[in-house]
Each structure stands twice: as structure tokens, then as C-alpha cells.
Amino acid sequence: MKKIKNALISVFYKDGLESLIKKLHDLDIRIYSTGGTYKFIQEMGVPVESVEALTGYPPILGGRVKTLHPKVFGGILARRNEPEDLDEMKEFVIPEIDLVIVNLYPFEETIQKTTDEQEIIEKIDIGGISLIRAAAKNYKDVLTVSSPEDYFALLDLLNEKKGSSIIEDRKAFAAKAFHVSSHYDTAIFNYFNRDIGLPIFKQSLAGSKTLRYGENPHQKGFFFGDLERVFTQLHGKEISYNNLLDIDAAIYLIHDFEESVFAILKHNNACGLACRDKLTDAYRDALAGDPISAFGGVLITNQKLDENTAEEINKLFFEIILAPDYENSALELLKSKKNRIILRRNSHAFQDQLFRSALNGALVQDKDRRVEGGDDLKVVTTRKPEEREKDDLLFANKIVKHSKSNAIVLSKNKQLIASGVGQTSRVDALKQAIVKSNEFEHELNGAVMASDAFFPFADSVEIAAKAGVTAVIQPGGSVRDQESIDYCNEHGIAMVFTGTRHFKH
């Protein structure tokens, strides 16, 4: 047990600090402070000594140097069980600093709100990070608090142990401090590496959430990140690992659509999707695509959910719904099922890279943000697609981009008719889609087909044509492209190449 006699406080975030200052004062702990924190404590009427008075130096270089001084770091790093350290402390009149409360300049927040390099650089903390690391290194003697989130934990500790701490307390706070330090440095490195492009992978995700389990009940599951920046949960049970995978797939799918759209997903793939001016019509047509797979699915729209649509949706058993907003009456109606997860999507910029563990390391790639438009289509057949067909081709191409490979999508009038996903051959994916469309009695005459990759043979376009497909969109690039083109020309089918493959594994 070590008694806290002297504390150094220098913080950017002062919310919640007042009660902590009062407690330190009640415990007769001497407080040293700098800058705005010093002024904050003074205005509270609590005795405080400036770091400038301790060191004999004022802040210099526009405040860049305030605490970087032997009288500060000596007081933190001195080993209380080393006689030579204590002799030097006495010789140079250095007080023992037993508690360090420091948080850092908001570097991550700054790079999110500005591109002004000078402003960003000035938010790289030097003194604060040094104080945190020094105090955490000397955890045997010093307690360090490096985040505003821990103010109340420290207050509880001070109340419980009457101004003292044990080594287990200090080591636990030190671990948090080194996390804060490493996370901060990772953010700075990644900012600089945007332009430099060093082949180094560093990620640090601060928030964490323990999930009920992983993909299966015998697997542990965790989420690292800040879900509240992505959505607000308005109702329902705890979100699971598999739920989060579906939510992620749903948000990225819907992001590619500008017009009013409703989508239903199952196991990360769209099983229903339609674009309509009226949201209720979009939902009905999305559901009609595959009403069996929709059972227990994830629903998402890019429009405010109205009461009429909610009444239709409420007839279906589903796990999750996401929308940018809800009419009050619609929300109350959807809340009628206690476990139903209702989420309001928040505006949030997602990271530009995907990464996943593989073998003994990580695979990293840029996100597939490419969305083909009319200017990206190269007509390779004698017949050009009609305007309606062109719209459907672009519509289907967006869906196939977000479907597990090998993938084929059949659509008509901006409605997902059927898809074949996750197949080991493209022909099997197409056959699966045709079987499903026939099962739900969709009319394929005049439908279009989208493929996530090129057709190695003409067999797929032949099967599609016999089913009624009149236009095809694919990347192209096979050495045998001409065979598919020739078949299409012989049977009056329009085909366009995009030049872009959209594998998804």
C-alpha cells in the first residue's frame, strides 16, 4: 500500500474532473498542474502549484514545452526503493510524484474534422505522452490515469483506500496507460503513412464489446470499435456476432444505391431488393424476390420508415431492421416484438481498407468502392441494351458486387428476381438462380443477368438465354469472350462489359 502525497494533473478533457480535484484536496494531496488545468483548479478555489514554479521555467515555444524537465520526470521515474535515486531527489530538490492524471490532445478527432496539416501536427501530444509512459513504467511507485473514462474509477479507489493504492491497482492503470499510448501512436503513424505508403500494417481499435458468442455458441466473440458511431439501437435483444456481419453487409450494399431502395439480407447476401418511388412498394417487391429466405433476415432501407411500410413489415418474422429514421407510429408498431432489433443508422465515414486474419498474419486490401455507371459500359454485341435493360443491368451489377462468389444475379424492372451465390462454378450459380426464380413464379422473359466475374465459356449465356434473359452484364476478360459474344449475337441478346471484376469471398 502506497500513500499518495503529490499529484500532477494536466488534462485536455475536464468533464468529471471537478469531483476528483475536490477529493484530492480533502485527502491533503498536493497538486501540481499546467496551463488550462492549473487555471481550472485555481478557479475551483483549490490550492495548486504551477509546474513553472516547480521547474523554474515558463512554458516555451508556444506551449510545446511545459513539463519536459528533470524536476517533473525525476519525480515520476524515481525508484523509491533505490537509495541513490532518493539521494539525487534530495540533492536536486525534486518532489516525489505519486499520481499522474494526464490525457492527450485530440489527434484523432482533429484529423476527422480538418485537413489543415498545421492544426493536425499541433495536436500531436509530446509532453502528455511522455508523462503517461514515464508514470506507467514506474507503476511500482506511481499511479497513472490516462483517460477521462477512468476519472470515476480513480475516485472510487481514493474513497475506498483513503488516498492510497496497492500495486495491483497501479499495474492495472499502467496497462490502460500503455494502451492509450500505443493507440495514439498508431493513429499518428497511420496519418503519416497515408502519403508515405510504408508496407506496414497497424490497427488499434479502442472500444470493445464482449458478444454472447462468436459465429457458433462454442466460440468466444468480441467486437472492437465504436458501434454507436454507426447506429443507435432503439429496441430489441443484444446484437450477436452474426448479426454484426449481416449489418455490415447490409450497410455496404445499401450505400451503392441513391434512389429509394429496400433490401433483405440473409447470411450477408441479398435475397430481396427493389427500388421503387414508394417505400411500401419497394418492401413488397423485395420480399417477393425470395419470401422464404426473408424469414429471420436483416432488413434495410435508405429512407425514413413510414407507418404503412411498418404495417407490412410487421407481418414478417425478421431479426433486424435498419433505417436512417422512423416515424413515431412506425417505431411503436415495430416494437411490438420484444426481441426485434431496431437500429437507426448514423452518418459515419468508414475506413478505406478491409483486413482479416490469415495464416500467421493479416490480409489487407482497399475496399471495393467502385460502382459502375452508364459511361463504364462497353457494348460488345450487335444489339445494344434498351434503356430499361440498361437500368436493370446497372441495378443487378450493384447487387452481384455484394454477393458471395461465384455469384449470378437475375433482375427485372429494378427488382431482384433471384440470385445464385457462393457456388464453386458460375454455371451452378446461374442454375440455382433460375430454379429459385421459377419456384417463386417470377417471369424471366426480359430479365437481365449480372455476373461478378467473366464467363470462361458460352454455356452460361446459353442457359440464361433459354430461360428468357435478354441482356447480360459482366466484366469480360476471358480468352474465350468471343464465344459468349457470338452466342449473344446469334440469339439477339445484348451484352456489356464493365472491365471490373467484383469477387467477394
User: Does 402 participate in catalysis according to the annotation?
Assistant: no
Asked if 150 and 16 touch (Cβ cutoff 8 Å), the reply is: no
Tally Cβ neighbours within 10 Å of residue 308: 15
Question: Per DSSP, what are the bridge partners of residue 285?
Answer: none
Report the DSSP pairing between strands 297-301 and 261-266. antiparallel
Q: What are the helix (H) ranges across 255-303?
A: 279-289
DSSP tag of 300: E
User: Does 267 participate in catalysis according to the annotation?
Assistant: yes
| DSSP states along 417-436 | EEEE-S-SSHHHHHHHHHHH
Which residues have C-beta within 8 Å of that of residue 439, sequence separation ≥ 6? Answer: none
How long is the chain?
505
Distance separating alpha carbons of residues 149 and 165, to the nearest angstrom: 19
Distance separating alpha carbons of residues 203 and 180, to the nearest angstrom: 13
What nine digits make up the cell of 296? 429471420
Distance separating alpha carbons of residues 107 and 120, to the nearest angstrom: 7
Distance separating alpha carbons of residues 283 and 274, to the nearest angstrom: 7
Instruction: Please report, for the chain, how many H helices and E strands are present, in that order.
Output: 18, 23
Active-site pick, 25, 137, 235, 255: 137
Active-site pick, 14, 22, 267, 335: 267
Give catalytic residues, as residue numbers: 137, 267
